[in-house]
Amino acid sequence: MLSYVIFTLTLCGIYALLALSLNLIWGGVGLVNLGLAGFFAVGAYASAIATGAGAPVLIGWAAALIVGAVVGLVVTFATLRLRDDYLAIVTLGFAEVIRLVALNERWLTKGSDGISGIKAPLKAELGLQGFSVFYLGLVTLIVLVVWALLRRIDLSPYGRAMKAIREDQQLAAFAGKTVLRFKLQAFALSAAIAALSGALYAHFQSYVSPDHFQPLITIYIFLAVTAGGVGRPSGAVFGAYLVVIFLEATRFATEWLPGLQPVQIAAMREMMIGVALILVLHLRPQGIMPERIPKAPRQPTPTA
Amino acid sequence: MTLLLQALINGLMTGALIAVPAIGFSAIFAVLRYPNFAIASYATIGAFAAWWANAVAGLPVVPALAIAFAVTGVVGVVAEETSLKRLRDNGALIVAIASIALNLVLENIIRFIFGNDMKGYDLPLARDLRFGELRIGPQQLQSLALSVAIMAAMFLFLRYTRFGKAMRAVADNPDLARLKGIDPARIAIVTVFLGAGLSGVGGVLIGLDTSIDPLTGYRVLLSVFAAAVLGGLGSIPGAVVGALALGIAEELALIAVPATYRTAVGFVAILIMLTFRPRGILGERAT
> What pLDDT score was predicted for residue B249?
93
CA of B88, closest CA in chain A: separation in Å?
Answer: 11
pLDDT at A240 over 70: yes
pLDDT at A195 over 80: yes
CA of B269, closest CA in chain A: separation in Å?
Answer: 10
Contacts of A285 in chain B (CB under 8 A): 87, 90, 94
Query: Is residue B109 less than 8 Å (CB to CB) from chain A?
Result: yes
Query: Is residue B64 less than 8 Å (CB to CB) from chain A?
Result: no
Asked if residue A294 belongs to a domain, the reply is: no
Query: Is residue B87 less than 8 Å (CB to CB) from chain A?
Result: yes
Asked if residue A265 belongs to a domain, the reply is: no
Q: Three-class SS of residue B38?
A: coil
Q: For a pLDDT cut of 70, what percent of chain B falls above it? A: 99
Using CB atoms, pick whichever of A81, A222, A270 lies closest to residue B108.
Answer: A270
> What pLDDT score was predicted for residue B90?
87
Interface test with B, best of A81, A84, A278, A280 (most B CBs within 10 A): A278
Alpha carbons A288 and A51: distance in angstroms, whole number: 39
Provide the domain count of chain A. 1
Interface test with A, best of B34, B39, B99, B271 (most A CBs within 10 A): B271
Cβ–Cβ of B108/A268 closer than 8 Å?
A: yes
Asked if residue A172 belongs to a domain, the reply is: yes
CA of B162, closest CA in chain A: separation in Å?
Answer: 30
Taking alpha carbons only, the member of A167, A185, A177, A296 closest to residue A231 is A167
Q: Render the burial of A105-136: b for 16+ CB within 10 Å, e for the rest.
A: eeeebbeeebbeebbbbebeeeeeeebbebbb
Asked if residue A80 belongs to a domain, the reply is: yes
Query: Is residue B101 less than 8 Å (CB to CB) from chain A?
Result: yes
Alpha carbons A60 and A50: distance in angstroms, whole number: 5
Query: Is residue A216 less than 8 Å (CB to CB) from chain B?
Result: yes
Using CB atoms, pick whichever of B102, B108, B261 lies closest to residue A100.
Answer: B261
Asked if residue A190 belongs to a domain, the reply is: yes
Alpha carbons B168 and A124: distance in angstroms, whole number: 68
Asked if residue A78 belongs to a domain, the reply is: yes
Locate the chain B residue with the closest alpha carbon to A263: B115
Is B268 exposed, middle or buried (CB count within 10 Å of its CB: 0-12, 13-18, 19+)?
A: middle
Evaluate whether B84 touches B28 at the Cβ level (below 8 Å): no
Cβ–Cβ of B100/A34 closer than 8 Å?
A: yes
CA of B123, closest CA in chain A: separation in Å?
Answer: 28
The 10s digit of each residue's pLDDT in B161-205 is 999 999 999 888 888 888 888 888 899 999 999 999 999 999 999
Asked if residue A221 belongs to a domain, the reply is: no
Q: What is the pLDDT along chain B (287 residues), one digit of tens a residue?
A: 788 899 999 999 999 999 999 999 999 999 999 999 999 999 999 999 999 999 999 999 999 999 999 999 999 999 999 999 999 988 888 999 999 999 999 999 999 999 999 999 988 777 788 887 788 888 888 999 999 999 999 999 999 999 999 999 988 888 888 888 888 889 999 999 999 999 999 999 999 988 999 999 999 999 999 999 999 888 899 999 999 999 999 999 988 888 888 888 988 888 888 878 777 777 765 43
Using CB atoms, pick whichever of A90, A261, A268 lies closest to residue B271.
Answer: A90
Contacts of A99 in chain B (CB under 8 A): none
Range(s) of the domain holding residue A69: 2-214
Asked if residue A203 belongs to a domain, the reply is: yes
Chain Cα centroid distance, residue B258: 25
Locate the chain A residue with the closest alpha carbon to B233: A86
Query: Is residue A33 less than 8 Å (CB to CB) from chain B?
Result: no
The 10s digit of each residue's pLDDT in B151-173 is 999 999 999 999 999 999 988 88
